[in-house]
């Protein structure tokens, strides 16, 4: 923090320079944000990879990459809202399993795709509501609550599936597989969902009171409360939204796979959190970017894809994801230090 107590400085000059200093332009705001620099890293990676591999820029590969990252990206959007309130949701991976199995069982029993989708979202909503109530109203630590829910959801998925795979989806099977695995105008359906959701989250974060309150709660919950913001309701909402995103992601993923086991989404929570954080969300709360979620998820998928195409053992994949995660946080620290 700079001080202005030094009596030898020329205060008139300082005041003039303050008055003349322009506020941040739109472009400066963009270039100061974490997602922008991750996007630059992605472009660099693409340029390098297009030299290394002929396949990299092929339509087929781009299609695969875009579809693969969409599932994590959708969940990372919800996770970004949670992290913005200085919370965390470890249960999203297990919830994918539970919601996916629930959808599969309902459709296998002969119900259509609409009941299947509604059940999927209802299960997700119930898990999110439980998380949210425990965290917001009973003031329990998000880490512990959602860690417990991670175990509970996975166990419930195993119980209701009786540890069997579901691969028949009743009368709407063809429609469901098309929805999850096909594309419209050359863009896979999960990517459409990600795109629409990203824009929705961007509007919600930047142009609604809900978004403003999410940032405020993450920045200083006590100040938010004194300002009359319903802090508990805001916290509840982010956990429900995060779970609904996981539910939607599970719904689309099962349609893509054409089958579902209770292992669906295992360890995905780590990828989702990593994507949010690489995209600029700060675990201390108060900082989040809607566009950070898909960009973070895209970088992680590109690393995976690049290693594969470059002929490097897939066992190295998590190593590089971890490396980028740490690097992203380190760079953000550096930029903040420069600014303070």
Partner 1 sequence: MAVVELRGISKSFGAIRALNGVDLTIERGEAIGLMGDNGAGKSTLMKIIAGNFPPTSGDFLIDGLPVHFSRPIEARQKGIEIVYQDLALCDNLTAAQNVFLGRELKRGFGPIRFLDHGAMNARAAKLFAELKSETRPRDLVRQMSGGQRQAVAIARTRLSDPKLVLMDEPTAAISVRQVKEVLDLILRLKETGHAVILVSHRMPDVFTVCDRVAVLRRGEKVADKPVRNSSPEEVTGLITGALAAA
**Which residues form the interface with partner 1 (CB under 8 A)?**
1-5, 15, 18-19, 23-24, 203, 206-209, 212, 215-216, 218-220, 222-224, 226-229, 286-287, 339-340
Closer to partner 1 at the Cβ: 85 or 91?
Answer: 85
* In the complex, minimum distance from the CB of residue 41 to partner 1, in angstroms, rounded to a whole number: 24
* In the complex, minimum distance from the CB of residue 18 to partner 1, in angstroms, rounded to a whole number: 5
* In the complex, minimum distance from the CB of residue 99 to partner 1, in angstroms, rounded to a whole number: 30
Closer to partner 1 at the Cβ: 24 or 44?
Answer: 24
Closest by CA to 253, choosing from 120, 81, 119, is: 120
Closer to partner 1 at the Cβ: 7 or 162?
Answer: 7
* In the complex, minimum distance from the CB of residue 12 to partner 1, in angstroms, rounded to a whole number: 12
Closer to partner 1 at the Cβ: 190 or 285?
Answer: 285
Phi then psi for 229, rounded to 5 degrees? -80, 135
Cα separation, 262 vs 99, whole angstroms: 9
* In the complex, minimum distance from the CB of residue 13 to partner 1, in angstroms, rounded to a whole number: 13
Cα separation, 279 vs 291, whole angstroms: 7
* In the complex, minimum distance from the CB of residue 232 to partner 1, in angstroms, rounded to a whole number: 14
Closer to partner 1 at the Cβ: 20 or 162?
Answer: 20
* In the complex, minimum distance from the CB of residue 329 to partner 1, in angstroms, rounded to a whole number: 17
Closer to partner 1 at the Cβ: 33 or 161?
Answer: 33
* In the complex, minimum distance from the CB of residue 53 to partner 1, in angstroms, rounded to a whole number: 41
* In the complex, minimum distance from the CB of residue 211 to partner 1, in angstroms, rounded to a whole number: 8
Closer to partner 1 at the Cβ: 97 or 286?
Answer: 286
**What is the Cα 335 distance to its own chain's centre?**
23
HEC assignment per residue over the chain: CCCCCCCCCCHHHHHHHHHHCCCCCHHHHHHCCHHHHHHHHHHHHHHHHHHHCCCCCCHHHHHHHHHHHHHHHHHHHHHHHHHHCCCCCCCHHHHHHHHHHHHHHHHHCCCCHHHHHHHHHHHHHHHHHHHHHHHHHCCCCHHHHHHHHHHHHHHHHHHHHCCCCECCCHHHHHHHHHHHHCEECCEEHHHHHHHHHHHHHHHHHHHCHHHHHHHHHHHCHHHHHHCCCCHHHHHHHHHHHHHHHHHHHHHHHHHHHCCECCCCCCCHHHHHHHHHHHCCCCCCCCCCCCCHHHHHHHHHHHHHHHHHHCCCCHHHHHHHHHHHHHHHHHHHHHHHHHHC
Beta-carbon count within 10 A of 217 CB: 27
Closer to partner 1 at the Cβ: 78 or 286?
Answer: 286
Beta-carbon count within 10 A of 192 CB: 15
Closer to partner 1 at the Cβ: 254 or 288?
Answer: 288
């Amino acid at each position: 923090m700079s001080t202005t107590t030094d009596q030898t400085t020329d205060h008139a000059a300082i005041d003039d320079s303050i008055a003349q200093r322009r506020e941040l332009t739109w472009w400066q705001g963009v270039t100061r944000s974490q997602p922008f620099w991750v996007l630059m890293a992605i472009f660099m990676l693409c340029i390098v990879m297009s030299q290394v591999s002929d396949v990299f820029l092929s339509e087929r590969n781009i299609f695969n990459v875009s579809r693969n990252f969409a599932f994590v990206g959708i969940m990372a959007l919800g996770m970004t809202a949670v992290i913005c309130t200085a919370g965390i949701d470890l249960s999203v991976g297990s919830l994918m399993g539970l919601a996916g199995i629930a959808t599969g069982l309902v459709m296998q029993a002969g119900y259509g795709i609409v009941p299947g989708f509604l059940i999927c979202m209802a299960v997700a909503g119930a898990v999110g509501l439980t998380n949210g109530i425990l965290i917001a109203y009973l003031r329990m630590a998000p880490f512990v609550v959602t860690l417990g829910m991670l175990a509970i959801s996975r166990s419930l998925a195993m119980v209701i599936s009786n540890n069997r795979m579901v691969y028949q989806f009743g009368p709407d099977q063809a429609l469901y597989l098309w929805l999850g695995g096909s594309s419209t105008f050359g863009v896979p359906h999960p990517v459409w969902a990600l795109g629409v959701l990203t824009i929705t989250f961007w509007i919600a974060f930047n142009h609604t009171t809900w978004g403003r309150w999410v940032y405020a709660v993450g920045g200083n919950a006590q100040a938010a409360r004194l300002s009359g913001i319903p802090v508990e309701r805001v916290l509840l909402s982010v956990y429900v939204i995060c779970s609904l995103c996981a539910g939607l992601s599970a719904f689309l993923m099962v349609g893509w796979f054409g089958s579902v086991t209770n292992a669906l989404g295992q360890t995905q929570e780590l990828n989702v959190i990593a994507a949010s954080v690489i995209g600029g969300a700060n675990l201390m709360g108060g900082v989040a970017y809607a566009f950070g979620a898909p960009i973070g998820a895209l970088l992680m998928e590109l690393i995976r894809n690049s290693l594969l195409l470059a002929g490097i053992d897939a066992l190295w994949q998590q190593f590089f994801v971890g490396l980028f995660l740490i690097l992203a946080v380190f760079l953000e620290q550096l930029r903040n230090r420069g600014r303070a």
